[in-house]
């Protein structure tokens, strides 16, 4: 039995599906079901007794304490977080609440549970904290990619809150001996990503003939990793990672945003040749930049390859084709998430930038 938090979100749900498919052992999935959590992502597990869903908050100490006592997990994988940079700019409080205070409350309950375990279980228990490359700040065009030794320099309320949670995790290992692992990953893309993030948003907007909003000059660079590769990397770190260590996870796929959007448009032109929006590239619109927009992220993923034998299977060309295909084949999922509050978010973030 493992406990996964945030397992109804984008990466978490991919991970739960992947874990049950590959490992076959049960998962308790604790998720608050914010706007980003979606039980539809887990529909394939609705009759599978190995998936135990619990609707709740990682910051709810009583609930977490009870879950730990009842299910006695051998490991925890902590995905639960507020994850969108633009939302953190409009409303940082939720980010501090979940990413900092929520992680702290979770750690306290885990510390109490772990301290009472027998020696053997104590030694094999693991807490894997899923974090981001954004904690390292922004790179110049010629800077070397982030390594595990790069000093933290978070620039957005989101990355600052993730950095705070990483520091708490580190301190709980150093001070109390809790068996922690931390992973810092680059930008993910793939099935079930909420269409507020670049790739999912661009696919949705392009198929609807809406503007494709490029922040600034479109030359900001991200290192893209297919979500299935991230899930595999986490399983590898959980199985073989050295307690107390941090592992950077990346795709070796640095791309400027404008190139990413051009690639999506070209694939859509090919898959939807009869669409009245061909060429989709004509929908590109330059809009006001994100405040404090980090220029470039790049991950040096040599450590996890050298020490644990993991490297990504997908490159950007294969991963982005799979992703566009998945969105076109799952328009019902997209329509469902793109209703209600999602419309309010579009109005808040994009009307200000001059498009609707």
Annotated active-site positions, please? 133-134, 158
Contact string (CB under 6 A) for ligand NAD, positions 116-145, x = contact: --------------x-x-------------
Site for ligand NAD in 41-60 (CB under 6 A): 57-59
Q: Work out whether 34 is an interface residue with ligand NAD (CB under 6 A).
A: yes
In whole angstroms, the minimum distance from the beta carbon of 208 to ligand DAU comes to: 14
Query: Where does this chain bind ligand DAU (CB under 6 A)?
Result: 83-85, 132-134, 186-187, 197-198, 201, 213-215, 220, 222, 257, 290, 297
Enumerate residues 6+ apart whose C-beta is below 8 A from 44.
Answer: 17
In whole angstroms, the minimum distance from the beta carbon of 209 to ligand DAU comes to: 16
In angstroms, the CA 133 to CA 66 distance is 33
Contact string (CB under 6 A) for ligand NAD, positions 13-32, x = contact: -----------------xxx
Token reading at 330? 């799952």
Query: Contact, 192 vs 14, CB < 8 A?
Result: yes
Helix (H) or strand (E) holding 55: strand 51-55
In whole angstroms, the minimum distance from the beta carbon of 118 to ligand NAD comes to: 29
> What is the rounded radius of gyration, in angstroms, for the C-alpha atoms of the chain?
20
Token reading at 169? 């995790």
Which residue, 8 or 85, has its beta carbon nearer to ligand DAU? 85
Enumerate residues 6+ apart whose C-beta is below 8 A from 355.
Answer: 211, 213, 285, 287
DSSP strand pairing (27-31 vs 2-5): parallel
In angstroms, the CA 138 to CA 191 distance is 27
In whole angstroms, the minimum distance from the beta carbon of 271 to ligand NAD comes to: 24
The residues binding ligand NAD (CB under 6 A) are: 5-6, 8-12, 30-34, 36-37, 57-59, 79-81, 83, 98, 102, 130, 132, 162, 185, 187-188, 194
């Amino acid at each position: 039995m493992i406990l996964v938090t945030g397992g109804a979100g984008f990466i978490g749900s991919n991970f739960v599906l992947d874990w049950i498919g590959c490992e076959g052992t049960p998962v308790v999935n604790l998720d608050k079901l914010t706007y980003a959590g979606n039980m539809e992502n887990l529909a394939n597990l609705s009759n599978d007794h190995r998936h135990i869903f619990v609707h709740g908050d990682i910051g709810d100490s009583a609930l977490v304490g009870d879950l730990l006592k009842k299910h006695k997990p051998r490991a925890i994988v902590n995905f639960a977080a507020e994850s969108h940079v633009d939302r953190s700019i409009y409303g940082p409080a939720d980010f501090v609440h979940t990413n900092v205070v929520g992680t702290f409350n979770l750690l306290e309950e885990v510390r109490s549970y772990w301290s009472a375990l027998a020696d053997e279980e104590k030694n094999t228990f693991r807490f894997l904290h899923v974090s981001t490359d954004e904690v390292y700040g922004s790179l110049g065009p010629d800077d070397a990619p982030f390594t595990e030794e790069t000093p933290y320099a978070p620039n957005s309320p989101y990355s600052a809150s993730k950095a705070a949670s990483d520091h708490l995790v580190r301190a709980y290992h150093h001070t109390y001996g809790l068996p922690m692992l931390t992973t810092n990953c680059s930008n993910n893309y793939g099935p079930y990503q909420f269409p507020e993030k670049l790739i999912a948003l661009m696919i949705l907007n392009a198929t609807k003939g809406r503007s494709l909003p490029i922040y600034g000059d479109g030359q900001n660079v991200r290192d893209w990793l297919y979500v299935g590769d991230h899930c595999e990397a986490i399983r590898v770190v959980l199985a073989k990672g050295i307690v107390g260590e941090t592992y950077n996870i990346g795709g070796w796929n640095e791309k400027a945003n404008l190139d990413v959007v051009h690639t999506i448009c070209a694939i859509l032109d090919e898959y939807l040749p009869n669409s009245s929006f061909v060429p989709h590239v004509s929908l590109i619109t330059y809009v006001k930049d994100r405040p404090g927009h980090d220029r470039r992220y790049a991950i040096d993923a040599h450590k996890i390859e050298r020490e644990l034998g993991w490297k990504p299977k997908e490159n950007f060309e294969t991963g982005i084709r799979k992703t566009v295909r998945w969105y076109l084949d799952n328009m019902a999922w997209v329509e469902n998430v793109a209703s209600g509050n999602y419309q309010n978010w579009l109005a808040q973030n994009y009307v200000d930038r001059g498009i609707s």
